[in-house]
Amino acid sequence: MCSPEHFAVEYAINPWMDVTAPVDPELAVKQWDRLRETLVGLGHEVHLLVPEAGLPDMVFAANGAFVVDGTVYGARFKHHQRAAEAAAHRAFYESQGWRFIAPNETNEGEGDFAYLPEAHGGLILAGHGFRTELPAHAEAQEALGRPVVSLRLVDPRFYHLDVALASIDDGNIVYYPGAFSAASQKVLAQLFPDAVLADDDDALAFGLNLVSDGANVVLNSEATRLAGRLKTAGYTPVPVELAELKKGGGSVKCCIAELRH
């Protein structure tokens, strides 16, 4: 995770960003702190990336890389405003001794990649259409040695896979069908017949931008209906308030890069 102490909406690179809407930096840090404390309280270890001035979106740490079994496939951002974030993430992973593979193709890390170790023997779901380019899916498959299923995103409000779909345990997902092309919806229905489906309200509340440890699902507090559906499915919803960071087009998952050893 990376503190939002430099967070601001200084440019608009997704439909949620409004440069005329003021951000309360103190409240952003307070809400982010609560998210971090929630994860620690659930028994997880949180490593911190040092935020850098001039990179207001660094708080969205999920976009900097994608990690599977100790191998890191680095990010290459689409927009020049975020490009320098990639080097900060690379430096973190290399300082920790992780195996790092630099990308040649445009991709935004866990923003557009999700990993399910027990689905069909280990499966990567990968989004394209707005940020990550399709050739990055093949590059990730070569880098990580896991089959990649390409899913086309068609609604600009859901510009990353992680605002439309999330893994809720090692073999199942929750997703919003309307974010995907008709063909991609068929693929998801075939691969995950027991998936939890979200509605428009859940998706627009950033409810799908969540993290789960297989039992506890940490999600945006506005997604009340989705929390109920997850509870019915046997998970424990853990709501958190992240209204300030939502102004940048992200929520829980965007703030968290998962370190899979």
Range 96-116 average pLDDT: 98
Strands 211-212 and 216-220: antiparallel
Task: With cut-offs at 50, 70 and 90, classify the pLDDT of residue 203.
Answer: very high
- Which residues are catalytically annotated? 160, 254
* 160 and 111 Cβ atoms separated by less than 8 Å: yes
Tell me the one-letter amino acid at 204: L
223-260 pLDDT, tens digit per residue, is 999 999 999 999 999 999 999 999 999 999 999 999 99
Range 46-62 average pLDDT: 97
* C-alpha angle 82-146-89 in degrees, rounded to nearest 5: 25
Q: Quick one: pLDDT at residue 122? A: 96
On the question of pLDDT at 13 being above 90, the answer is no
Range 32-61 average pLDDT: 97
Q: Quick one: pLDDT at residue 134? A: 98
Q: Which of 33, 71, 52 is nearest to 259 (CA)?
A: 71
* 214 and 170 Cβ atoms separated by less than 8 Å: yes
Q: Quick one: pLDDT at residue 198? A: 98
User: d(Cα 52, Cα 94) in Å, to the nearest integer?
Assistant: 18
Q: Quick one: pLDDT at residue 166? A: 98
Strands 196-197 and 173-175: parallel
Name residue, tokens 């789960």: 212
What average pLDDT is seen over the chain?
A: 97
Q: Which of 184, 175, 181 is nearest to 202 (CA)?
A: 175
Q: Quick one: pLDDT at residue 143? A: 98
- Virtual CA dihedral for 138, 135, 115, 123, nearest 10 degrees? -40
Q: Quick one: pLDDT at residue 42? A: 98
Q: Quick one: pLDDT at residue 146? A: 97
Range 148-172 average pLDDT: 98
* CB count in 10 Å sphere of residue 15: 12
* CB count in 10 Å sphere of residue 101: 16
Range 95-110 average pLDDT: 97
CA dist list (Å): 136 to 48, 75, 177, 184: 27, 10, 23, 18
* 5 and 34 Cβ atoms separated by less than 8 Å: no
What homologous superfamily does CATH list for 25-255?
Answer: L-arginine/glycine Amidinotransferase; Chain A (3.75.10.10)
174 membership: H or E segment, kind and range: strand 173-175
Range 174-203 average pLDDT: 98
Range 213-225 average pLDDT: 98
On the question of pLDDT at 194 being above 90, the answer is yes
Question: pLDDT > 70: what percent of the chain?
Answer: 100
Give the list of residues 6+ apart from residue 78 with CB closer than 8 angstroms, or none: 106, 108, 131, 132
Strands 165-167 and 236-240: unpaired
Phi-psi group of 132: left, alpha or beta (phi > 0 → left; psi -120 to 50 → alpha; rest → beta): beta
On the question of pLDDT at 8 being above 90, the answer is yes
